[in-house]
Structure 1
Amino acid sequence: MVDADRHPVAVLPGSQILRFIVPRHVQDDPALAHVYGERQADQLCTTLAGRTVKDLLPADPPQLPVVDGDATAMEIAALMAAARSPLAAVVESKGGKVKNPPLIGAISVVALLERLLPTH
């Protein structure tokens, strides 16, 4: 999520979205999930109708990991691990001369791991 000036402010992980879809009593006791049929499960997504990303964010969202375009894979990994975030915002590199540089992209943990882990 970005503000009006395209500065990154928050990320909404898929797991947070699931918390709005899956009823609280099923989250508390996952064994209850088997009583839901596929049709009922499909209808659970209607709880998201009309909601914005901002509506789904916690009242006090955790700090978003933000890196500049010159960050190394290890720097990104360290920030994502520390923040327990599946995503890092990438802002325009201005050599530290711009206080709040605009968002130019994002990197997911999957994309990062594809770069860090050897493929054999």
Structure 2
Amino acid sequence: MRARDLLADFPVVGPDTPVLEAARLLAEQDLPGLIVTGGDRAPLTILPGAEVLRLAVPGYCQDDPALARVVDEAHADAFLDRLDGRTVREALPSGRWRELPITDEDATVLELAALMARTRSPLVAVVRDGRLLGAVTLQALLDRALGA
């Protein structure tokens, strides 16, 4: 089985897309992440949903989870308000050194799984000649690998 056999259309965002728009897309379509593309629709990177949360959750709550408990419920429920006016670019993980979860349509299931594990990405962008064909999600990969 190859990447092309697990391929699905997948929504994309650009680096300058408002991150609140990206968060809504993640929620409405129950996605594990989004593909970030450039002007030519070539994939640049993957934005895992957890990175959107990282941008929204105050650093002091990430550093000391006990502090999150002392924030009153009204303010705790509004933590996504911190995303207003911010872009996808700001939510992307820092460091260009990291391997991108992008492969070609001939990748095997094991290659896809290894790439997801290595990059800690819930999806892999699949390309042909630098153009996005779609994506393989962790769920699709596990469903097929487990025979579900």
TM over 0.5: yes
Listed as ranges, the gaps of 5+ residues in structure 1 are 93-97
Deviations 1:33-85 (Å, cap 9, x if unpaired)?
A: 22234321222111111222112113424321212223221111111112222
Name the CA distance, whole Å, in 2 between partners of 1:72 and 1:116: 11
Q: In the alignment, what sits opposite 1:103?
A: 132
Listed as ranges, the gaps of 5+ residues in structure 2 are 1-35
Q: Quick check: 1:22 aligned with 2:60?
A: no
Give the aligned CA root-mean-square deviation in angstroms.
1.8
Q: Quick check: 1:45 aligned with 2:80?
A: yes
- Percent pairwise identity: 49
Q: How does the TM-score come out when normalised to structure 2?
A: 0.66
Q: In the alignment, what sits opposite 2:102?
A: 66
Name the CA distance, whole Å, in 2 between partners of 1:75 and 1:7: 21
Q: C-alpha displacement at 1:5, in angstroms?
A: 1.5
Q: In the alignment, what sits opposite 2:23?
A: none
Q: C-alpha displacement at 1:113, in angstroms?
A: 1.4
Amino acid at match of 2:73: E
Higher RCO by CA contacts (8 Å cutoff, separation 6 or greater):
2
Greater Rg over alpha carbons, structure = 1
Q: How does the TM-score come out when normalised to structure 1?
A: 0.80
Q: State the 4+ residue runs in structure 1 displaced beyond 6 angstroms.
A: none
Name the CA distance, whole Å, in 2 between partners of 1:50 and 1:14: 18
Aligned residues: 112
